[in-house]
Structure 1
Amino acid sequence: MSSLFSAQLHPGRALGFLVLGASLHDVLTRLKAEPQRFPKLDLVYSPTEPVKEPVVLGLPANGIRLRFDGPEQRLRLIEILDFTKNHIFLKPANDKERDLVRPTSTASEATAPADAAPGPTFRHIYQRFLGPTYDGEYVPDAETYVLSYPGVAFTFPMRRKDYSPAKDVVSLLSSTAIPSSMAVFSGDSWAQARETMWTEILPSLKTFAPLAKGKDVFPDEVSLVKIHGGGKLQLFRKWTNASFWIMLGETTPQQLVAELGPPDAIYRKNDQRMYIHKLRAASNTMARPSGNDLKRQDDLTDTDQSSHPASDEYDSNDEAVEDSTVANVSGECFYNYFYLGFDVLVSTPTTPCRPPPSQVGNPSIPEPPFRSTHADRLVATKVILHGNVPGSYPFNRHRRCRWEISYLQEPSDAAAATTTTANSEMPFPEIEARLREEWKSIYPSEAEARQKQRGMVLNRGWGDSPGSSCELLGGWEESGGTNPGVGKGRGEESTTTLYGFPGLVFEVLKNGYVSAVTVF
C-alpha cells in the first residue's frame, strides 16, 4: 500500500513540492524518486504535436492530475480528482493548520476510500477552510458550478434545472455538497486564469518562499538558446535580461562553470560506433587521419552522450586508427547539464564551422575578447540541445531546452509585418527548407547539396536503456483509450533520423519534430 500524499496548499503557487512553473523534467524526476508514494505515473500527450499541445501527467494512486504546456513544459495546473487519496491542508499565518478533509487515521498509511470522507463539504470550504468568496460560474454544457478563490477553484456538479442566475452561491449549493475536483492555478479567478493559463509568464521558483529558504544559490535557468552560426550560441536567462555567450573553440570549462554552475554529471567520451568510417578514411589516405577529421565524422552520431555505455570492442590490429582515436578522445568529456537541457563537449580546440552566408560580417555577433594559442587547452567544442519530446527514447534524461536559429527568419504573413524564426517548436521539414535556401550557395549543384544533407537512421534502442520509467499513454483520450502496443517500456520511439548541415546536426522523430540539435 502506498503512503498517503500529504501536502500544504499554497493558493496560486503550489501544492506541497508541486510548484506552478516547475518543469516537467523536475517534477517527473522528483516523483520517480519516491515510488512508494507515487507508484503509478501516466503521461498523456499528443503523438502528432507533442511540443505544441499540453502534456498531462496523471497520478491515479494519489488522485492528482498535473497539466503542463507543450512548448516550455512548465506546470500550469494542479487538479485534485479524488480527495480520499491525499491529505491537503492550509497553514495561514499566525493560525493553526486547517485540513481540507480530516484524515480518519493518524497512521502514515493511506486509508481505504470506504473509511475516508469522500471530500470536503461546501460548508467546510466556505465557512472554515478558505472562507467566503464571490458567486461562482455555472458551466451548462458540463452541468458544473465552479466556486472560485484567488489561485484555487472547486467544481461542484449541478443540474441545469437546479441553477438560477438569480440565486447566490449559498442558496445554490447545499451545505453538504461535495466538489468533484479542486484546481490550483495562477490567477485571481478561474474565469480569468483560463484565458492566459498556457502562455502566462509564471514567477521564478526562487521567489517561492518555502523553496527560497535553502542556503544554496543557483543561477537562473536558461530559457532560450539562440544559435547564431559560426559556433556562437547566446543563452538567455529566464526572468532577467541577462545572456551568456558560448563560443565554440574559445569558451573554457571555467567560464562554463562560472556562468552555469557545475555540471550535473561528467561523461568521459569513448564512443566507437563510427569506427568503421574512421578505418575506411585512414585506409583511403594511407595515413592517419587528423583529430579534426575523426571528430567531424563523429558529429552525426554525437547527438546524445549523456548516458551511452562506453564500448571498446574493435580490432586491436588496426593500431594506426586506434592510436589516433585514443589521442583524439584523451581529455574529452561531456558536461551534462540535465536540469538546463543541454550537454557541452569539452575537448582540445577545433575550428568551428563557417558562419552562414547571410551572417558573414554581421557586426551584431561579438568576437571573443581574446584568443588563446595553446593547442592543448580544453574548450567547449560542441553543444547538444535536448528537446525532451514526450514519446522519444531519451525522454526525461534532460529538461526541455528551447532554441531558435537566429539567421533563419521569414515573413509570417503576406504583408511581412512580422517574421518567424526557425525554432524548437517548428516541424523539421520547415526548418530544413530554410536551411537549404541559406546554404545553397556553397554547393556546386542542388544534387550535391541533397547528397550531403540526406538523412542517416539511428536506433537508440539497441544497447541503451530508456530514460523514462513512466507509462506513456500517447493519445489524448483520458477515458482509458491508448495507442495499440504502447505501454510501460514500449512507448518510446527509439528510431530517429539524423540530418546534417554546416555546423548543425538534427535528430528528428518520425512525427517530424526535433528531439535534439547538435551545434559544432
Structure 2
Amino acid sequence: MADALPAFPIAPNRGLGWMNLGASLHAILTRLKSQPQLYPQIDLSYSVAEPVLELIVLNLPANGLRLRFDGPDQRLRLIEIIDFSKSSFTYKSQDLVRRSGSSNEAIPEWVPGPSFKHLYNRLFGPSYPGEYIPPSSGDIQGTYVLSWPGLAATFDIKHKSWSEKADFVSLLSSSVASPATSLAIFSGSSWPEVRTSLYTKRPQLPRSLALAGKSAETVPDEVEEVVIHGSGRLELFRRTSSSFTIGLNETTPQDLVAELGPPDAIFRKPGNGLSIHAGVASSKPRRPSISPGLDPHLAEHEQSSAKSYTDDSENETSNIEEAQDDESTSEAFYNYFHHGFDVLVSTSQSRRSTSKETPADFVVTKVFLHSNIPGSYSFNRHRRSRWRIALDGNGQSLELTSEMRFKQVSDVLKEVWHSSYRDAEEEKRMQRGMVLNRGWGVGDSPESSIELLGGFEEGPSPQDQGSINAGAQASLPNMSNTELFGFPGLLFEVLKKDTISCLTVYQHEA
C-alpha cells in the first residue's frame, strides 16, 4: 500500500500544520530535514547579490508547498499551496479538495484545486470582491484573487469574459473560471491590505516552534535583537520579557542558564590553543593592538561550536557544571543555536587564579553573533541573529546594523578609531583583512574555525539568484575564503559579497 498523503490543517492568520507564520528559517529547515521521508526534496532560492535584504524562498515540490521568508529577519511570512495533489489539506476537519475513492492511500498524479463554490459555501464563507489581474500580452487568461482574513485563493479567468460590472460570485461559479490554482496563508485581514507590508511588519507569532502557544515562564523567551554598547556590554532584547545584559568578564554561566535557558550544546575547547585575540591576552606591557590577533603568526586554528552541530551525543546539556570542572580545558562554548549565537565561557583575565588549589571563576569572555547567510559554510547551524552597534561620535549617536554591508560598517569604525593609530602605516596595516579557508580542515577542528564560522560563498551559481538543495548542501561547489577584519572589541568575518557572516564581541583592554 502506498504511503498516505501528508496532512496539513489550514489555520488562517496562523499557518499550515506545524508551520507557523513568523517561524524562523532555521526552525523550519531543521524540522523539514529531520523528516526526509515526509519532505524528500527541499529547494532554497535566494539572492546572491543581496542575501540579507531580499526574500528567501523555500520550495517543497514533493509536498506542493512554497514558503516565503523575509531576508533581514528570516521569518516565515507567506505559505502557498501550489499543488493540491501532493498533500492532504483540511480546514476545520473538512477536506480542501474533494477526492474520489480512497484518496489517502495513494498519491494521484494530479487533482484540480478546490472550486469557488466549495470554498465559498462549505469552507471559508462569504467574501468581499477581490482583484482582477489582466493577462500579459498574448495570454488569454487573467487572474482573480479572492481573499478572506488570513487567506487568499487564486483563480484563472478567461480575459474576454471579464467585466468590471460582473458579479464576481456568478463569474467565479461559471465555466469561464477555473478551480483555485493556489491558496495563500498569511497574517492580516485581506490580501490587498497586507501585501505592501507583508515582509516588514512584526509577526505576531514567535520564531521558535517550541514557543508557539507557550509562555516565557515555561520556555525561555527568544532574543529579538542584540545591542552592543561597548565596554564589553551586550543588551539582549527579548520578545516579551525584559532585556538581559551580558557583561564580558562579569556574566557567569549560571546567569546565562537562568536567563536564556540551558544551551543547545556545549563544546569543550582544548586549553592549549592560542586565541585569535592573542594580542589582547598578552602578558607583556604593550600598547593594545587596534586589530588584535590579526597577525597570522599569532593565530592557531581552534575548535569551535561547529563540532556540536553534527555530534549531538557528545554535547548533551544535562550537566552544565561539567564544562567548568573539567581539568582538561579552561574554556567552553555554550551553543545557543535557536537564539543565533554562541558564548565562550572561560576564566576571566582579571579574576584568573594564580593557585592551582583555588578554583578559577568562569565568566563570559566572548559572544559570537551569527548571520546565517544562505550559501555560506555555516548556513542553518544557527538562526539569524540581528544586532546593532551603538556608537557616539562627533557629538551624535550612530548605529551600525547587521543588515549593512561591511564597507558601510568599516567606514564608520575607521573614522571612529582613526585617532587611535600611531601613523598612517599602522592604520593601513591594521585594516588589512586576514584570509580564512573553511574547506580544508586542520586537525580535529571541523572547520578550522578560529572560533568563528563561515566559508561557502555564492552557492552553485554566479547568477543573481542562487539556489541550493538543503539536503545536499555539503556538495555545493564554489567554496571560497572569508576574511577577518578587527576593531577594538569587534571582529568581523566577511564573505566575498561584502556580507557579514559573523560578528565576535570580546573585551577590549584600552
Bin for the TM-score computed over the shorter chain = 0.7 to 0.9
Deviation at 1:160, TM superposition (A): 2.6
Instruction: Tell me whether 1:236 sits opposite 2:249 in the alignment.
Output: no
Deviation at 1:131, TM superposition (A): 1.6
Structure 1 Cα separation of the partners of residues 394 and 181 of structure 2: 48
Deviation at 1:331, TM superposition (A): 3.0
Structure 2 Cα separation of the partners of residues 236 and 299 of structure 1: 35
- What do residues 35-90 of structure 1 show as CA deviations (whole Å, max 9, x unaligned)? 01111111100101100011101111111000000000000000011000011101
Aligned residue pair count: 454
Partner of 2:433: 455
1:137 partner amino acid: E
Structure 2 Cα separation of the partners of residues 191 and 305 of structure 1: 47
Deviation at 1:107, TM superposition (A): 7.4
Structure 2 Cα separation of the partners of residues 267 and 208 of structure 1: 25
1:498 partner amino acid: L
Instruction: Tell me whether 1:203 sits opposite 2:204 in the alignment.
Output: yes
Deviation at 1:441, TM superposition (A): 1.7
Partner of 1:348: 347
Instruction: Tell me whether 1:384 sits opposite 2:380 in the alignment.
Output: no
8 A Cα contact 1:223 1:236, kept in partner:
yes
% same residue: 48
Instruction: Tell me whether 1:147 sits opposite 2:146 in the alignment.
Output: yes
Partner of 1:221: 222
8 A Cα contact 1:43 1:472, kept in partner:
no
Partner of 2:498: 512
- What do residues 245-287 of structure 1 show as CA deviations (whole Å, max 9, x unaligned)? 0000000011111110100000111387769998xx99xx9xx
Structure 2 Cα separation of the partners of residues 83 and 333 of structure 1: 49
- What do residues 150-204 of structure 1 show as CA deviations (whole Å, max 9, x unaligned)? 1000111123322111112112213563111110011111101101101111113
Partner of 1:260: 260
Structure 1 Cα separation of the partners of residues 277 and 166 of structure 2: 78
Structure 1 Cα separation of the partners of residues 398 and 333 of structure 2: 32
Structure 2 Cα separation of the partners of residues 468 and 454 of structure 1: 19
8 A Cα contact 2:482 2:495, kept in partner:
yes
Structure 1 or 2: more helix by fraction: 1
Out of 400, 416, 423, which is 2:384 matched to?
Answer: 400
After TM superposition, which residue ranges in structure 1, 4 or more long, deviate above 2 angstroms?
Answer: 1-5, 102-110, 174-177, 204-216, 270-278, 293-304, 327-331, 408-411, 463-469, 471-478, 491-494
Deviation at 1:4, TM superposition (A): 2.4
8 A Cα contact 1:387 1:515, kept in partner:
yes
Matches within 5 A, 1:72-151: 72-91=73-92, 97-104=93-100, 110-114=106-110, 117-141=111-135, 143-151=142-150
Deviation at 1:482, TM superposition (A): 6.0
8 A Cα contact 1:45 1:476, kept in partner:
no
Deviation at 1:410, TM superposition (A): 9.3
The SS at the match of 1:205 is: coil
Partner of 2:168: 169
Partner of 1:359: none
Do the aligned partners of residues 468 and 458 (structure 1) sit closer, same or farther apart at CA in structure 2, a change above 3 Å counting? closer
Do the aligned partners of residues 123 and 15 (structure 1) sit closer, same or farther apart at CA in structure 2, a change above 3 Å counting? same
8 A Cα contact 2:216 2:240, kept in partner:
no
- What do residues 453-486 of structure 1 show as CA deviations (whole Å, max 9, x unaligned)? 31111111223479999x96668888xx969xxx
- What do residues 291-314 of structure 1 show as CA deviations (whole Å, max 9, x unaligned)? xx999999977898212499xxxx
Structure 1 Cα separation of the partners of residues 106 and 211 of structure 2: 25
Deviation at 1:447, TM superposition (A): 1.7
Partner of 1:270: 270
1:422 partner amino acid: L
Instruction: Tell me whether 1:499 sits opposite 2:500 in the alignment.
Output: no
1:266 partner amino acid: I
8 A Cα contact 1:342 1:383, kept in partner:
yes
The SS at the match of 1:334 is: strand
Structure 2 Cα separation of the partners of residues 519 and 276 of structure 1: 12
- What do residues 84-131 of structure 1 show as CA deviations (whole Å, max 9, x unaligned)? 00111012xxxxx211013556576551224xx322111111111212
8 A Cα contact 1:43 1:474, kept in partner:
no
8 A Cα contact 1:332 1:347, kept in partner:
yes
CA RMSD, 1 decimal: 3.9
The SS at the match of 2:417 is: helix
1:229 partner amino acid: G
1:64 partner amino acid: L
Structure 1 Cα separation of the partners of residues 249 and 204 of structure 2: 35
1:403 partner amino acid: W
Structure 2 Cα separation of the partners of residues 434 and 336 of structure 1: 30
8 A Cα contact 1:396 1:468, kept in partner:
no
The SS at the match of 1:29 is: helix
Do the aligned partners of residues 128 and 456 (structure 1) sit closer, same or farther apart at CA in structure 2, a change above 3 Å counting? same
Deviation at 1:450, TM superposition (A): 2.2
Partner of 1:425: 403
- What do residues 341-390 of structure 1 show as CA deviations (whole Å, max 9, x unaligned)? 000000000259xxxxxxxxxxxxxxxxxxxxx88110000000000011
Instruction: Tell me whether 1:434 sits opposite 2:412 in the alignment.
Output: yes
The SS at the match of 2:144 is: strand
Do the aligned partners of residues 174 and 345 (structure 1) sit closer, same or farther apart at CA in structure 2, a change above 3 Å counting? same
- Structure 1, unaligned stretches of length 5 or more? 92-96, 286-292, 311-326, 353-373
Do the aligned partners of residues 475 and 99 (structure 1) sit closer, same or farther apart at CA in structure 2, a change above 3 Å counting? farther
The SS at the match of 2:493 is: strand
Do the aligned partners of residues 214 and 255 (structure 1) sit closer, same or farther apart at CA in structure 2, a change above 3 Å counting? closer
Matches within 5 A, 1:354-373: none
Partner of 2:62: 61
Structure 2 Cα separation of the partners of residues 503 and 302 of structure 1: 20
- Structure 2, unaligned stretches of length 5 or more? 137-141, 285-291, 310-325, 352-357, 448-452
Do the aligned partners of residues 390 and 294 (structure 1) sit closer, same or farther apart at CA in structure 2, a change above 3 Å counting? closer
What is the TM-score normalised by the length of structure 1?
0.78
The SS at the match of 1:164 is: coil
The SS at the match of 1:85 is: coil
Do the aligned partners of residues 209 and 507 (structure 1) sit closer, same or farther apart at CA in structure 2, a change above 3 Å counting? closer
8 A Cα contact 1:42 1:473, kept in partner:
no
The SS at the match of 1:158 is: strand
Structure 2 Cα separation of the partners of residues 376 and 423 of structure 1: 36
Do the aligned partners of residues 225 and 218 (structure 1) sit closer, same or farther apart at CA in structure 2, a change above 3 Å counting? same
Do the aligned partners of residues 272 and 35 (structure 1) sit closer, same or farther apart at CA in structure 2, a change above 3 Å counting? farther
What is the TM-score normalised by the length of structure 2?
0.79
Do the aligned partners of residues 39 and 309 (structure 1) sit closer, same or farther apart at CA in structure 2, a change above 3 Å counting? closer
The SS at the match of 1:84 is: coil
Partner of 1:331: 330
Structure 2 Cα separation of the partners of residues 401 and 90 of structure 1: 35
Deviation at 1:437, TM superposition (A): 1.0
